[in-house]
Amino acid sequence: MHISKVSSALFVIIVCVFCVSAREKGEDIFPEAKEYYSAGNYDSTVSVLRRHLTKHGKEKSTEYIVPLLMEALVRINDYNSFNRLFGIYKRKFPKAHYLPRLYYLDGVVKAKEQDYRKAIFSFSISLNKGVYEELENLVVVNVEKICESGITLGELSRVAGRSEINQKVAEIVEFYEVKMLYDEGHASKAKRLAEKFRKKYPRSAYQYDAKKIKSKSRILKRSTVQVGLLAPLTGENADIGKFVVQGVKLAVDTYNKSHTPKIDLVILDTRGNMVESAKKTVEMVKVYKTPVILGPVLSCNATVAASVLMGKPDVVMLTPTATDDGIAQLGKNVFQMNVTLGILGRKLARYSIENLNIKEFAIISPISEYGKILTDNFKDEATRRGGEVLAIEHFDDGTNDFRIQFESLRKKLAERKWAQFALEGRAEFSKEAKGTRAARAKAAYLADSTIDIGGIFIPAESEDVIKIASQVYFHRLRTQLLGSNGWHTNATILGGKRYVDNAIISTNFEADTKNQKWIAFSKLYWDRFKENPDQVAAPLGYDAANLVLNAISNGNVGSIDDELRSIKDYHGVSGMISFDNDEGVNSEAAILKISNKKFIRIQ
């Protein structure tokens, strides 16, 4: 983005076009200020006019004095003062003769502030309100400069097609959208929009260039493969979408430097909305005809997209980030790269039995969809592998006192112990035992004994974990604490203190920032986007794109689903990736242990 070129061009333009004249000849201050301005003494112009307006700010002469002040403010780069005055002036003089000129200046200011979308809108308004021919020509030149060297393709696409844009400005914006699409390798869309542009603007000065782009795009399309990407570029989840998009872009850019066929990445905005996700999935299939779609990002949107693709086996979908169970089961052509909650629960149960030799478990779970999925999958897997879940206790969101849950849990575990005592011949614990002696024996055991249970699984968020962990100790339960990805924050370690030490958790992602893959990825990411990647969305997007690109480079565009299903032990930036042959989900959950106030990966 050549910002300096845009700013320089705009500065020369405003120097050439100053033109303001007084309407009230009896006003002495205006000729003096104008003389300062004509001599290039802009600071003096500002000083004189500000001093005058302090005393005479309510007089009618303000209507033509303030525009001169605003001209001078632009010259001295005092954009904050200009913006403040412009807002006031628009409200006070909505029909002023000077407004078209001031909207033009506002476009210049917005461009210098690198807010290119707003700059284009302001230039458009200046034309709509009516400007003289010289200024109209300058608007055209400025908009061209912004489109050539300032604005991004994403910003340009959001401006193109807006109904309120002046036709002259719209023509420029829409042509440069076509040009930028072609320059960035989006052959199919560039060709389609070039055709549309030529029909819409038959007398355009850009007709010849649009025709060339159309022809070149047709040739380029033959040697490219389109890959779709559905992500929230706008809305409350736009930050997550941005990291996923940038991770995918980095993979595609790297691939295109040394591989053929080239990849034409088609990015559509789901807005984080289910209806929009359905529309954009249909557009990917019918308009762009992409053989593979990366995304959507959010589980709810991925569910919708997978449903749209049911019965369309020729289009493969790989969501990098969705974690809801069952999305991949909607079709053999649907894959989930982020580990699902079901996988997390099953992996932890398997590890506990096989590696920790735990056979008996209790579960303390929140009454939520998150808690239910993890609880059910942990219990099913533990039972299937010969373990037993002796008790499950539930709690509501916002619970602070877990005494009821722990008393119930202790009693259930104690009853099992009493049955064992009875088998050993202790009469006071037998089923036939009644009366005061038996009651006292059981009460004494509950009150005084530390009760052992192999493991307690707590599938909860950090805030609840901190409260529960200390009460495990307080209620004298000797056990191995087991947790889910909700534990995986520094808050758990800081708030849980010694009570969470040695806990074992399963999580869907563990970025090893000391790993050479991560270091190399971070450097590439910084070089490309001038910011550090987050540790979840960007690497997941990057790895998902690389899995698809590897399939394409192997010449298997028509069987990407088979390529994905065969992936085992792929070492990505986001960790290990293996797809289950039946479900199409990544089965590689990470097992971490809390030790010395750190999460340490142990599997």
Same domain, 160 and 229: no
Residue 535 identity (one-letter amino acid)? Q
For residue 173, what are the CA distances in angstroms to 8, 211, 592? Answer: 20, 16, 52
In a domain, 545, yes or no: yes
The reported pLDDT for the residue numbered 23 is 40
Range of the domain at 450: 342-507
Q: How many domains does the chain contain in total?
A: 3
The reported pLDDT for the residue numbered 81 is 92
Same domain, 143 and 22: yes
Same domain, 260 and 331: yes
In a domain, 211, yes or no: no
In a domain, 30, yes or no: yes
Same domain, 149 and 13: yes
Say if CB 303 and CB 241 are below 8 A apart: no
Same domain, 109 and 43: yes
Q: Mind spelling out the 3-state secondary structure of 113-125?
A: CCCHHHHHHHHHH
Residue 15 has pLDDT above 80, yes or no: no
Three-state secondary structure call for residue 336: strand
Same domain, 349 and 406: yes
Average pLDDT of the segment spanning 296-311: 94
Same domain, 50 and 112: yes
Same domain, 36 and 54: yes
Average pLDDT of the segment spanning 370-385: 95
The reported pLDDT for the residue numbered 17 is 37
In a domain, 361, yes or no: yes
In a domain, 566, yes or no: yes
Query: For residue 556, how many other CB atoms are within 10 A of its CB?
Result: 13
pLDDT 10s digits, 567-600: 998 989 988 899 866 789 998 888 999 999 899 8
The reported pLDDT for the residue numbered 438 is 64
How far apart CA 178 and CA 208 sit, in angstroms, is 13
Instruction: Provide the token pair at 208.
Output: 């010849």
Torsion 298-303-308-311 (CA) sign: positive
In a domain, 273, yes or no: yes
Same domain, 437 and 352: yes
pLDDT band at 132 (very low <50, low <70, confident <90, very high): confident
The domain that holds 544 is classified in CATH as 3.40.50.2300
In a domain, 20, yes or no: yes
Same domain, 444 and 418: yes
pLDDT 10s digits, 205-216: 998 988 888 887
Say if CB 310 and CB 285 are below 8 A apart: no
In a domain, 382, yes or no: yes
The domain that holds 165 is classified in CATH as 1.25.40.10
> Which helix (DSSP H) or strand (DSSP E) does residue 165 occupy?
none
Burial of residue 164 (number of CB atoms within 10 Å: 0-12, 13-18, 19+): exposed
Same domain, 322 and 382: no
The reported pLDDT for the residue numbered 255 is 93
Average pLDDT of the segment spanning 458-465: 94
Helices (H), 396-461: 403-423, 436-448
Say if CB 547 and CB 577 are below 8 A apart: yes
DSSP 352-397: HHHTS---EEEEEEESSHHHHHHHHHHHHHHHHTT-EEEEEEEE-T
Three-state secondary structure call for residue 481: strand
Residue 220 has pLDDT above 70, yes or no: no
Same domain, 348 and 420: yes
pLDDT 10s digits, 306-324: 999 998 988 999 999 998 8
The reported pLDDT for the residue numbered 8 is 42
pLDDT band at 16 (very low <50, low <70, confident <90, very high): very low
